[in-house]
Amino acid sequence: MKRIILPLLALSISIYGMAQAPAIIPEPLKMETSNGKFELPEQSTISFKGNSPELAAIANQVKQKLEQATGRSVSITPGGEGTILLQLLPKADTTLGKEGYRLSVGDKKITIEANQPAGIFYGVQTLWQLFPAAIESKTPIKDANWTIATTTITDKPRFGWRGLMLDVSRHFFTKQQVKDFIDNMVKYKYNMLHLHLTDDQGWRIEIKSLPRLTEVGAWRAERVGRWGDWSKPSPDEPKSYGGFYTQDDIRELIQYAKDRFVTIMPEIDVPGHSMAIVAAYPELSATPGNYQVNAGERFMIWPGNGHFYGLIDNTLNPASEKTYEYLDKIFTELAQLFPFEYIHMGGDECYKGFWEKSDAVKGLMKKEKLANMDEVQSYFVKRVGKIIASKGKKMMGWDEILEGGIAPGAAVMSWRGEEGGIKAANMKHNVVMSPNQYTYVDLYQGDPIAELPTYGSVRLKKSYEFNPVPKGVDPQYILGGQANLWSERLHTVRHAEYMLWPRAFSIAESVWSLPEKKDWNKFIQKTETHFKRLDAADINYSRSMYDPIFSVKKTSDSTFQIILDKEIEDLDIHYTFYEVFPDSHYPVYKQPLEVPRDAVNLRVITSRNGKIIGKMITMPIEELKKRAKIK
């Protein structure tokens, strides 16, 4: 009996293994899996063909990753017929473009072909996703006798700009942490790292001609607790939190990124968000005073509807020639350091109330015939544009640079929804789409009651709906799309990871894959497979996609119903109004709930096939009452 069962079992495992389509994120253009299988041999060799030093570097990356995860030694034989062959096509295949590739997994051999090394690199990233999750392990796995289904994939990206923005100002990420970030982003074929290098809370790049930017601007008082409510530092308090990248660090990061086909775009955020600059050089403010790098204490009031009022002037003086002199020095050094054609100059959320009171600004308005504050901002942005152009670079800014008239040739990064991007593209300016309602990975991904404090909501499903080309816009002006990781509320790298994953899967698929290749249910299945990969790599992620969505419906002046929704169809939501912790034995939500008399909390948890999968959420009835606007 035993003899019969064993082969049957083996057969069913292999059939099961075959039946499961590979979970590739972002979804490739074309993929076919057949019945054969490739077994990773004890001794793998990697070979490469084609005239490019980058090929040898990629081969080396492949070797290192295989050796790290399997503990087996892997050899490289250039030009030979290796187990894994990386090959530049001798004759260009125009259908593959610059970053496309063809991957074929045969039963004895794996081949990756592309027009350019970038394509080979992306083929390799896909190949890793065909292997079991353990390939992501940083320590060797015992018995890495891995098999993968024979597969052919032809793939290329929809957009050339597949970006992630990392805010290294509010939370300082060390050089090693930025390298780790790059390692992780490329697994999902991102190719643009936008570094938000400066803000009110810290200046993070060495500028040799203006040393106080880092001596003073890179350091602030350290706080724990809730950002925005932090206490104001006293002037003599030690400034123990911070850090910055030296120019050598920056060169090292640029090279590290380049070796992984990532471009780094620097952002210097002016004329608002400039408290760290004025703390270093108070002469650049239109409002005389003593400034400190913001340590997270409130200095801006946000009453809603996009309005804000500054309590302290965090802007540069647009009327002072000194401002442009200093900016010229900064952009000179930046242009020498960063090879990328664009420099981002911020331009967002500039509070102009202090400019209105400034005699110097009034004088500028008269002299330059500027009618209002938007035109003053536009004057500033245009001058910055000229400085950046004089260094041989192009300028990009947040969509506020449209206000008062856009600078000639400037590219726009659309963040306050899609409108700015649409407007700029219609004026034939290049655009990167980063609308906050889809791509802001610092916002809530579950109900605020069960998450850490932040702002509006971007649930996983919403991020998956991101399409960088808004209706009616000429796609030739849309360079691509980007997710932004703002860090004022991130205090640890683990939390940064929690915010990034899995939403960065969605955005990756939105910027790489064709819209018709996107499929939410399939994406969720793939995401679950990739959770195992993140586990193997010891990277944190959020499981909030398993948690219900709460809403309320007012039924009278004093009553309301509770509606529970879910992002993932095949889950059950268990609930209780008793003061107990529910599990899968508790009632399954089927229809809107009336609130029973005396109930204090609604507790919910989700399951799949009877197994708990979501987290325990305690929702106070008082909170729901507030949401229903019942007094």
Residues with catalytic annotation? 199, 273, 349
Nearer to ligand TNX, 455 or 520 (CB): 455
Total of residues contacting ligand TNX (CB under 6 A) = 9
* Interface with ligand TNX, residue 101, by CB under 6 A: no
Nearer to ligand TNX, 33 or 484 (CB): 484
x/- mask, ligand TNX, residues 411-430, rule CB under 6 A, reads: ----x---------------
Nearer to ligand TNX, 155 or 442 (CB): 442
Print burial letters for 124-145: b (CB count within 10 Å at least 16), e (below 16): bbbbebbbbbbbbbeeebeebe
Close Cβ partners of 92 (under 8 Å, ≥ 6 residues apart): 115
Instruction: Give percent helix, percent strand, percent coil of the chain, each to the nearest 5.
Output: 35, 25, 40
Nearer to ligand TNX, 157 or 310 (CB): 310
- Rounded to the nearest whole angstrom, what is the least distance from the CB of residue 387 to ligand TNX in the complex? 20
- Rounded to the nearest whole angstrom, what is the least distance from the CB of residue 334 to ligand TNX in the complex? 19
Close Cβ partners of 408 (under 8 Å, ≥ 6 residues apart): 382, 385
* Interface with ligand TNX, residue 398, by CB under 6 A: yes
Cis peptide before 117 (omega within 30 of 0): no
440, 505, 531, 589: which one binds ligand TNX (CB under 6 A):
440
Give the largest CA-CA distance in the chain. 97
Could you tell me the two tokens for 405? 């008239």
- Rounded to the nearest whole angstrom, what is the least distance from the CB of residue 361 to ligand TNX in the complex? 23
Close Cβ partners of 2 (under 8 Å, ≥ 6 residues apart): none
| DSSP per-residue letters across 61-121 | HHHHHHHHHH----EE-TTS--SEEEEE-SS--TTTTTT-EEEEE-SS-EEEEESSHHHHH
* 126 within 8 A of 104, measured Cβ to Cβ: no
Q: What string of H, E and C letters represents the secondary structure of 491-550?
A: CCHHHHHHHHCCHHHHHHHHHHCCHHHCCHHHHHHHHHHHHHHHHHHCCCCCCHHHCCEE
Q: Give long-range contacts, CB 8 A cutoff, 24+ apart: 257-260.
A: 257/182, 257/193, 259/57, 259/61, 260/121, 260/182, 260/183, 260/186
**Cα gap 225→290, rounded to integer Å:** 26
Could you tell me the two tokens for 262? 């990532």
| Nearest to 525, CA basis, from 568, 464, 462 | 568
54, 349, 497, 547: which one binds ligand TNX (CB under 6 A):
349
486, 512, 531, 550: which one binds ligand TNX (CB under 6 A):
486
222, 348, 403, 519: which one binds ligand TNX (CB under 6 A):
348
- For the segment 449-468, give every residue that binds ligand TNX (CB under 6 A): 455
Nearer to ligand TNX, 379 or 486 (CB): 486
Print burial letters for 311-336: b (CB count within 10 Å at least 16), e (below 16): ebbbbbbbbbeebbebbbbbbebbbe
Nearer to ligand TNX, 121 or 398 (CB): 398
Could you tell me the two tokens for 76? 């490289």
- Rounded to the nearest whole angstrom, what is the least distance from the CB of residue 197 to ligand TNX in the complex? 13
Helices (H), 550-630: 621-627
Nearer to ligand TNX, 349 or 447 (CB): 349
Nearer to ligand TNX, 152 or 437 (CB): 437
Nearer to ligand TNX, 228 or 243 (CB): 228
488, 509, 547, 567: which one binds ligand TNX (CB under 6 A):
488
- Rounded to the nearest whole angstrom, what is the least distance from the CB of residue 408 to ligand TNX in the complex? 22
- Rounded to the nearest whole angstrom, what is the least distance from the CB of residue 454 to ligand TNX in the complex? 7
- Rounded to the nearest whole angstrom, what is the least distance from the CB of residue 442 to ligand TNX in the complex? 5
Looking at the DSSP bridge assignments, the partners of residue 307 are 304
| Nearest to 244, CA basis, from 266, 226, 272, 229 | 266
- Rounded to the nearest whole angstrom, what is the least distance from the CB of residue 253 to ligand TNX in the complex? 22
Close Cβ partners of 526 (under 8 Å, ≥ 6 residues apart): 23, 24, 25, 27, 505
- Rounded to the nearest whole angstrom, what is the least distance from the CB of residue 398 to ligand TNX in the complex? 4
- For the segment 541-570, give every residue that binds ligand TNX (CB under 6 A): none
Nearer to ligand TNX, 76 or 300 (CB): 300
Could you tell me the two tokens for 9? 């079992």
- C-alpha 28: how far from chain center: 20
* Interface with ligand TNX, residue 252, by CB under 6 A: no
* Interface with ligand TNX, residue 173, by CB under 6 A: no
* Interface with ligand TNX, residue 442, by CB under 6 A: yes
- Rounded to the nearest whole angstrom, what is the least distance from the CB of residue 348 to ligand TNX in the complex? 3
Helix/strand/coil for 49: strand
Helix/strand/coil for 56: helix
Helix/strand/coil for 130: helix
- The footprint of ligand TNX (CB under 6 A) covers 348-349, 398, 415, 440, 442, 455, 486, 488
